[in-house]
Chain A
């Protein structure tokens, strides 16, 4: 327990984006979004790069701070910034009225076009949404494109398909599962590079125009104003243009946007981004660190689950009626609702009351959830110990506590061992869900690389091997203990 705790503290400190004294500007983004926004640097996967990374660094510099990246799931950027995980979210965050209403939003720093991607055979066939009546059109959920499609679904009768990532809409387009994909031109261009022009073509006409902005907590409008000043300066002195050119996303509409916003024409500077080969070996250290996070997280969560399970099971077996009812409600509530929902409530929902660090919230969330399952195992195991043994213990003068400790508990533990091992292995894998709380563990890290290098095959196999390397010894240990105790 002590070494585990020390390790956990180490991990927490190392993860602990939270407590760095001023001099840093914490900014949140999703490296799973990949280039050119934010991606893990193939040369050093513990670092990120991309135009949003450089925009963040530019802002930080002009604020006299050092930029510090915080990984967050793209769809959670708004909640995360509001609860203070970082000061500003920059990761292809779109300017929408809803976002403006709920958060402090910077001036736009990039203009994108929502464009339609279609199969080459369909080139020119559906140049706008109206022509797509009755067809399936895919996009990434929670985006402006999705809102456009939902509106078009009602007015034009097309079928909107929402995806959790921006890779599968295009692969499904190539596979013929959808007829078009509506997303911004940067993502579309990336998909065309990945799949080739024989896979898909991009219709030149923009369906709509939108902007990327930085998002800050509603209460942070003062910082937002400073960021706006920094962005305007960067537009005027050519810094932003250099960044966008370096990432090959500069075009005339950016110049127009800058003129509109900052009132000046940009200077000229060109240099090309050099992509180093994304060697798998470069990712191994980060995968190793992520695996350590998964292992420590699982061990600590299981420790919490065992304690919670023990308390709840004792309450259900020994407690008076009100305690039994309370414990039953707890067990049924936890078992009856998704773990993902519980994690969200614990981390985002309660952030107004108690602001848990992400790692602690992850340990608590998993521990409290699995505690309910452990409780049921322990209760069953306690009740499986023969009643006459308990009576025999009473006639010998043992107190109830002694009976639990000396007679009932040890035997219940033997009954509980196999299902406990099972749960621990399940928890190891369920721990991947905590990536929604900005904790980067093994699966999240794998997803980041897979998206960055454009294939799941090698990262997926590596990830599976690491999980198996952790779960198989556990299963073996469980079986050994069972065998040793079977005689009893």
Chain B
């Protein structure tokens, strides 16, 4: 089975500093892959390159048959196929502040997919229900807790039904009990509708162990170690992995 997301020798620099130097990762349908590394390792940059929010300098990104080449970000009109294939959940959720939870989720359905209002609202409500935030449909983002805002953001990213979902540090603002619930939710998202691919940037070892099928460790702009979550996290082979585990163990 071919990969849903294939990142091949990705190079990306900011202000003359190399952030990514040949990152290679694959994500298949139904699979949750954690991209792990300390803060500043370039996890967010990798996600943003796949979502075509930043330029990259070398390598190749293919999402479900749609290829991104090195160079400046293409105009939005050329990115329409990519936008249908990739959803991104931002670390700070980035919900539209002036719209209710329901409107946040329904907005793209109405104006990008051009669904009728009732249909869009129905779909949005079902999504919010499936993520256990249906009761908060009428709330504004400023009235939501961190966990609620995150689930609304996930619902919004899933609304156009993209096969690939990217998430940036999803556990950053969650207490431990909520992390467990989020892990179960994401497993369900990956399994639903014939299988979705999830690529999650995180430095949360416990979360990755509980939720990810595979783990890729990012250090010095490259994947230094990859494999199943248990393989990598229980028997770390690379010093960067051990450092990550040591940091997680210390309070």
CA distance A410 to B80 in the complex (A): 24
* Residue contact B76 to A400, C-beta cutoff 8 Å: yes
Partner of A411, one of B80, B84, B98: B98
Q: Which of B87-95, B170-178, B186-194, B229-237 contacts A (4 or more CB under 8 A)?
A: B87-95
Q: Of A388, A402, A411, A487, which contacts B111 at CB under 8 A? A: A402
Contacts of A392 in B (CB 8 A): 88, 90, 94-96, 156
Size category, B interface: 20 to 34
Contact A396 B156 (CB under 8 A): yes
B160 with A488: CB separation less than 8 A: no
The answer on a CB contact under 8 Å between B94 and A388 is yes
Cβ of A320 to closest chain B Cβ, rounded Å? 14
CB distance from B90 to the nearest CB of A (A): 5
Residue in chain B with minimal CB distance to A391: B53
Taking Cβ atoms with an 8 Å cutoff, the residues of A that contact B are: 386, 388-389, 391-400, 402, 406-407, 410-411, 414, 485, 487-488
Residue-by-residue, is B69-89 near A (CB-CB < 8 Å gives 1, otherwise 0)? 000000011001001101110
Question: A394 contacts which of B76, B143, B157 (Cβ < 8 Å)?
Answer: B76
Q: Are A396 and B112 in contact (CB under 8 A)?
A: yes
**B94 and A396 contacting across the interface, CB-CB below 8 Å:** no
Q: Is B130 an interface residue (CB 8 A)?
A: no
Residue in A391, A402, A411, A488 whose CB lies within 8 Å of B94: A391
User: Distance in Å from the Cβ of A262 to the closest Cβ of chain B?
Assistant: 78
List B contacts of A398 (CB < 8 A): 108, 111-112
Q: Which residues of B are interface residues toward A (Cβ below 8 A)?
A: 51, 53, 76-77, 80, 83-84, 86-88, 90, 92, 94-98, 107-108, 111-112, 140, 142-143, 156-157, 159-160
Contact (Cβ within 8 A) A396 B108: yes
Closest residue to A409 on the B side, CB-wise? B98
**Interchain CB contact under 8 A, A411 and B90:** no
CB distance from A481 to the nearest CB of B (A): 13
**B87 pairs with A397, CB closer than 8 A:** no
Q: Which residues of A contact B159 (CB under 8 A)?
A: 396
Residue pair A388, B92 in contact (C-beta under 8 Å)? yes
Q: Measured between alpha carbons, how far is A488 from B86 in the docked complex, in Å?
A: 28
Complex contact A395–B88 (CB within 8 A): yes
Complex-state Cα separation, A474 to B83, whole angstroms: 44
Closest partner residue, chain B, to A413 (CB atom): B98
Contact A389 B97 (CB under 8 A): yes
| Nearest CB of chain B from residue A451's CB, rounded to whole Å | 52
A388 to B94, CA, bound (A): 6
Report the nearest A residue to B103, measured CB to CB: A406
| Assembly CA distance A388 to B49 (angstroms) | 15
Which residue of chain A is the closest to B53 with respect to CB atoms?
A391
